[in-house]
Each structure stands twice: as structure tokens, then as C-alpha cells.
A and B are shown apart, each in its own frame.
Chain A
Amino acid sequence: MRTRAIGLSLVAAAVAVVLQTTFFAQVRIFEVAPDLVMLTVIAAARRLDAEPAVLLGFTSGIAMDLLGSSPLGLRALVLTLVAYSTVRTRDRFDINVVATGSAVLLLSLLGVVLIVVIGTLFGEASFRDPNVFRKIVLIPVYNLALAIGILPLVTLVLGDRRRRESLL
């Protein structure tokens, strides 16, 4: 069951990577697109065990790094930390819709800020981008909006972790 959940989460991440680099490359509202890969990692990390969750974050990030031109490992690091943060906080936030929404918002904000800060440290010019603050604000908001559909979908596909644990 766990292997199946891990496999499905990898497929979900791959689909997210393709959609991020194609669909959301064209659909940008106020020149900013949601970070679907980050949202998928957050959604899957809520349902996976700790180690598969951070590995999923790392794998998704590496895929994005390999398809782009930013330093290899930047998004891997960020999504690993986002996945870890999700695992650490999920029991506190998975209590109602408002708390879960807040978690998505804050975790996405954490991810975007990490991309900007670590990217700047490794030679990216993220802070010089005049749209950087717009991106920092809008990406979490867009992720929150998308979470309405993505979180239930990922839960449906991966199953409920707590239910699995109680069955074991």
C-alpha cells in the first residue's frame, strides 16, 4: 500500500512538473503562475510517511532543476525543506479547512522565500527582479486557490495516511 502511494505520488509530481513547464508557462495572472510542483509536494507530504515525503520533495525539485537552467539542487533543496516542514506540521494543520488552507499558504510562502534567498546566495538575481515581491505574495495565494482542488484529489489518489496507520 505504501509502495503504491509512493509510486502514485511520483506520478503526480511528474504530471505537476509537465503542467508547470507547459500550461503554467502560458497561463500567468499578473505575470505570475502558481507553483503546482510545490503544491503537489505539500499535498503528497500530508499523506506520505516522513522519508518518502522528503524524497518526493527532493526528486520533484531535481526534475525542475534539470529542466531549467538555475543551479542544480536549488529547487531540490527548497522542496525537500517544504516537504519536511509539511510532515512536521501536518498533524497541527490537518484539523479543519481553514487550518489546512493556512498551512498551504504558509508552506508555499516558505518555499518561495527559500527559492529567492538561496537562489540569490547561489548567483541568481531573484532579489533584483522588480516582480519579486509580487511573486512572493501571489504564488502562495494562487497555490491556496489551487489547493481547493489539488488537496482532495491527492488525498483521493494516495489515500488517507491516518486511516492507513489505524488499519496497520
Chain B
Amino acid sequence: MLVVLVVLSFLLMTFDIRASGGGVAGTLREGTQAVFAPVQDLATSVISPVVDFVDGLANLAGLRDENEALRRRIAELEARIDEVGTLEAEIETLRRITDLTLPNESIPTEPARVIARGDNFDSSFTIDKGTDHGLVVGNPVVDEDGALVGEISVVTASSATVVPIIRPTGAVTVESQTGETGILLGQGLAKLIFEVNPAAEPVFVDYLLVTAGSTKFPPGLSVAKVAESASPEAAKIRTEAIPLADFNRLKLVVVLQWTFSAEDRQEEQLPANETPAEDAGSETGGT
């Protein structure tokens, strides 16, 4: 039994990686998510006050010298303040989402709530919107400030899984302030690798990197800032960049109902034999 399960696990991993999250594994993921998403949604609603309470207790660490009655009272008040603070933060986030101005205002948007996340070693997360709201696999996802977060990898009727750009398999074609096009590579952590090849101009700290327009993401979305200045060496730049989105704090996101189409290709006025660099498959956020 053990040997069978171990072999089965290895086979599943191999097939899943080879299928890049699609195929039977993708269908299974959709099915599982369809079953779990309503439960997770409900659990998140129930758990949020508990989380606020836990946060409130955590904030009491500096009040140990107070007497017990005051502690309880402060805990209650802090929990309430946290609840109000959470609500205010959500209102502020919603206001920012409402006021969000995207480079291309013709792209329809759909705000969504983060209802579940992977475990300690999985940065993907689940949102509470799906095909019922017009979402499809590949739709880009941004935070409330319009910074690129990732793309939808699995979608069900009422939920979707978002694979963030920081995933090790993730790559985004970006343009720096110098106008040069490069690629941002996910590292599975809070930093990205920014590569420009060929590079003519140096890049400096805090240079903004925006999507260059590709089959994966529309142009002009802010993505990251350069973390370390770098000059071209052998006509190549490789440095670190910090994503603008805070992946640990995301509670609300905005899904751009955009997928690359023939019209986009025509608008880009590319020659017939020229495709964006990432069309070759280098830009991906898949499993």
C-alpha cells in the first residue's frame, strides 16, 4: 500500500508538472475547489471575528502589568477597535478599488475577496469570484492600487485560484523607465529577478517596472521596483526587484477581465512574423 501511494504521488507530480497544471489535474483542481470554496467562504466569514480577537489578544502583550479587570476591558476595547480598524481598512480598500485607474480603462474589472490560501510553502490563493462573474483562466489580477499580483490558473463557477507572479515558475515581461524591455522572474519569495538582455542603459534603485504588453498581461500595469542598481555587463543586466503588491496582506483584489486576443495583436501593430518575447512560453505563472 505504501509503495503504491508513494509511486502514485511521484507519477502525479511528474504528470502535473509536464501538463503545467492543465489536463486531468486541472479538472480535478476545479472540482475540488468547487466543493471546498463555499465551505472556505463560509469559514472565512465565521473566522474573521475570531482572527480579529486573536489580533486583539496579541496586542495585549505590552499591558501585562495592568490588573485582570483592566486587561479584560482593554481586550474587549482593542478587539472592537481592531474590528472597526478592519472595517475601516476594508472600506478604504474598497474605495481605492472603486477609484482604481488602470492604464486601459476599457478593460472590465471585477473586485474579489481572498477566501483561502495555500500553506506555508504555497503562495497561491483562492478568491470568491469565478465563471459566474465572467472570469476565465489567464485573467490578470491586481491589488487595490493596480499593482500586478498574478493570474488566474483555475476557475470554477464561484471561485478561482490565483497564481502570484512571485512563484518560481512565474515570469512577466516588463518595461523599465529607460524604455528597455526585460523579464521579471519569480523566486518563490518577496524578491524578483529582473533581467534585461540585450541591455544598453543602466537601471537604478526605485526604477518602476511596468508590464510591457504580452499574451499574458496588458501593457502599463505597475509590477515592481528595482531594488539594486545595475549596469549592463556583456550587454546584459541581472538585478533584484521588489514587487509592489504585498502578497501576505492581500484581502481584496481586482480581476481584470482581459485575455490576449487577435484584436490586441492588431492594436500592437506587430509585423506578421513577430511575436512578443514571452509568446515563446517564457512568461508563465503556471503550476
Contact = CB atoms under 8 A, between A and B. Distances in A.
Answer whether A and B are interacting partners: yes
A87 to B, nearest CB: 9
Given A25-B116, A126-B188, A70 B121 contact: yes
Contacts of A116: 121
A17 interface: yes
A64 B10 contact: no
Interface stretch (B93-101, B162-170, B208-216, B264-272): B162-170
Nearest to B36: A67
B287 A77 contact: no
Interface string B118-149: 11111111100000000000000000000000
A80 interface: yes
> Interface extent on B, as a size class?
35 or more
> Interface extent on A, as a size class?
35 or more
B153 interface: yes
A123 B168 contact: yes
Contacts of B117: 21, 25
A73 B116 contact: no
15 contacts: A19-B43, A20-B119, A27-B54, A51-B1, A58-B5, A67-B126, A68-B119, A71-B16, A71-B287, A74-B9, A123-B168, A126-B121, A128-B168, A135-B120, A135-B121
Given A22-B115, A67-B126, A71-B13, 13 more contacts: A21-B116, A35-B120, A66-B28, A67-B32, A69-B163, A69-B167, A72-B12, A72-B15, A73-B13, A74-B13, A77-B6, A128-B168, A128-B188
Interface of A: 17-27, 31-33, 35, 37, 50-51, 54-55, 58, 61, 63-77, 80-81, 84, 115-116, 119, 122-126, 128-131, 135, 139
